[in-house]
Structure 1
Amino acid sequence: MVVHKSGFAVTAAALLLASVAAPVLAQAPASPPPAIVPGPTPVTPALSLPAATNVTAQTMVADLEAPWGMAFLPNGDLLVTELLGKLRYVKAGQNWSLEAEEIKGVPTVTAAGQGGLMDVTLHPNFARNKLIYLSFSVGDEAANRTRIVRAKLDGRALTDVQTIFEVTPAKPRFQHFGSRFTWLPDQTLLISIGDGGNPPNSLDGSFIRNQAQNLGSHLGKIIRIKDDGSIPKDNPFVNTPSARPEIYSYGHRNAQGLVRDPVSGRIYATEHGSQGGDELNLIQSGQNYGWPKVTYGVEYGAARTPITPNQSGPGLIDPLAVWSPAIAPSGLAVVRSKKYRGWDGDVLAGGLRLDQGRGALIRVDLDTAGKVIGQERIDLGDVRVRDVRQGPDGYIYVLTTAMRNFRDKGQRNGQLIRLMPANEAPAR
Structure 2
Amino acid sequence: MLLVLLVPALGCAASDDVAPVTLKAVVGGLEHPWGMAWLPDGALLITERPGRLRIVRGGVLDPTPIAGLPPVLAIGQGGLLDVALDPDFERNRFLYLSYAAGTIEANGTRVARARFDGRALRDLQVIAAVPQSKAGGQHFGSRLLWLPDRSLLVSIGDGGNPPVQLDGQLIRLQAQNRSSALGKVLRIRSDGAPAPGNPFPSGPGVAPKVWSYGHRNVQGLAHDPGTGRVWVSEHGSLGGDELNLVEAGGNYGWPRVTHSREYGGGPIAPAQSAAGLIDPRRVWTPAIAPSGLAVYSGDRYQGWRGNLFAGGLVSRDLRRISLDASGTVLAEQVIPIGERVRDVRQGPDGLLYMLTDSADNGELIRLDPVAGR
- Give the TM-score category using the shorter length: over 0.9
Q: Per-residue deviation at 1:50? A: 9.1
1:105-116 alignment, distance < 5 Å: 105-116=68-79
Q: Per-residue deviation at 1:309? A: 2.5
For 1:321 and 1:173, locate their aligned partners in 2 and report how far apart those are by CA, in whole Å: 29
1:66 aligns with 2:14: no
Q: Which residue pairs with 2:174 in the alignment? A: 211
Structure-2-length-normalised TM-score: 0.94
Note closer, same or farther for the CA distance 1:246–1:424 as it changes in structure 2 (3 Å cut): farther
Q: Which residue pairs with 1:222 in the alignment? A: 185
Deviations 1:64-106 (A, max 9, x none): 11100000111221000000000000113xxx11001110101
1:233 aligns with 2:181: no
For 1:353 and 1:276, locate their aligned partners in 2 and report how far apart those are by CA, in whole Å: 11
Q: Per-residue deviation at 1:287? A: 0.8
Note closer, same or farther for the CA distance 1:176–1:46 as it changes in structure 2 (3 Å cut): farther
For 2:202 and 2:50, locate their aligned partners in 1 and report how far apart those are by CA, in whole Å: 39
Pick from 76, 84, 108 the counterpart of residue 145 of structure 1.
Answer: 108
Q: Which residue pairs with 1:276 in the alignment? A: 239
Aligned residue for 1:109, secondary structure, equals coil
The one-letter amino acid of 1:373's match is L
Q: Which residue pairs with 1:194 in the alignment? A: 157
Q: Structure 2: any 5+ residue segments left out of the alignment?
A: 1-8
1:298 aligns with 2:261: yes
Aligned residue for 2:357, secondary structure, equals strand
For 1:45 and 1:201, locate their aligned partners in 2 and report how far apart those are by CA, in whole Å: 33
Q: Which residue pairs with 1:423 in the alignment? A: 371
C-alpha contact 1:196 1:209 (8 A) present in aligned 2: yes
The one-letter amino acid of 2:157's match is G
For 1:344 and 1:274, locate their aligned partners in 2 and report how far apart those are by CA, in whole Å: 31
The one-letter amino acid of 1:55's match is V
Q: Which residue pairs with 2:341 in the alignment? A: 385
Pick from 296, 304, 321 the counterpart of residue 282 of structure 2.
Answer: 321
Aligned residue for 1:179, secondary structure, equals coil
Q: Which residue pairs with 2:3 in the alignment? A: none
For 2:305 and 2:324, locate their aligned partners in 1 and report how far apart those are by CA, in whole Å: 10
Pick from 356, 366, 374 the counterpart of residue 331 of structure 2.
Answer: 374
Q: Which residue pairs with 1:345 in the alignment? A: 306
C-alpha contact 2:19 2:303 (8 A) present in aligned 1: no
Deviates more, 1:45-54 or 1:120-129: 45-54
Deviations 1:169-222 (A, max 9, x none): 011111000010111111110000000000011111111100000111100000
Q: Per-residue deviation at 1:232? A: 2.0
Aligned residue for 2:368, secondary structure, equals strand
Deviations 1:205-264 (A, max 9, x none): 111100000111100000000001111231111144221111000000000000111221
Q: Which residue pairs with 1:11 in the alignment? A: none
Q: Which residue pairs with 1:399 in the alignment? A: 355
The one-letter amino acid of 2:317's match is A
Q: Per-residue deviation at 1:374? A: 0.4
C-alpha contact 2:19 2:301 (8 A) present in aligned 1: no
1:361 aligns with 2:315: no
Q: Which residue pairs with 2:268 in the alignment? A: 307
Note closer, same or farther for the CA distance 1:395–1:53 as it changes in structure 2 (3 Å cut): closer
C-alpha contact 1:81 1:118 (8 A) present in aligned 2: yes
The one-letter amino acid of 2:48's match is E
For 1:388 and 1:256, locate their aligned partners in 2 and report how far apart those are by CA, in whole Å: 11
Note closer, same or farther for the CA distance 1:325–1:131 as it changes in structure 2 (3 Å cut): same
Note closer, same or farther for the CA distance 1:217–1:67 as it changes in structure 2 (3 Å cut): same
Structure-1-length-normalised TM-score: 0.82
For 1:325 and 1:389, locate their aligned partners in 2 and report how far apart those are by CA, in whole Å: 24
Q: Which residue pairs with 1:54 in the alignment? A: 20
The one-letter amino acid of 2:305's match is D
1:158 aligns with 2:130: no
For 2:14 and 2:362, locate their aligned partners in 1 and report how far apart those are by CA, in whole Å: 26
For 1:50 and 1:307, locate their aligned partners in 2 and report how far apart those are by CA, in whole Å: 34
Aligned residue for 2:174, secondary structure, equals helix
Q: Which residue pairs with 2:6 in the alignment? A: none
For 1:370 and 1:54, locate their aligned partners in 2 and report how far apart those are by CA, in whole Å: 25
For 1:308 and 1:367, locate their aligned partners in 2 and report how far apart those are by CA, in whole Å: 30
Q: Per-residue deviation at 1:140? A: 1.1
Aligned residue for 1:110, secondary structure, equals coil
* Aligned pairs, number: 364
C-alpha contact 2:243 2:280 (8 A) present in aligned 1: yes
Q: Per-residue deviation at 1:47? A: 11
C-alpha contact 1:220 1:253 (8 A) present in aligned 2: yes
For 1:259 and 1:240, locate their aligned partners in 2 and report how far apart those are by CA, in whole Å: 29
Q: Per-residue deviation at 1:368? A: 2.6
Q: Which residue pairs with 2:63 in the alignment? A: 100
Deviations 1:392-416 (A, max 9, x none): 11000000023xxx2xxxx2x1000
C-alpha contact 2:179 2:207 (8 A) present in aligned 1: yes
C-alpha contact 1:113 1:174 (8 A) present in aligned 2: yes
The one-letter amino acid of 1:291's match is W
Note closer, same or farther for the CA distance 1:205–1:125 as it changes in structure 2 (3 Å cut): same
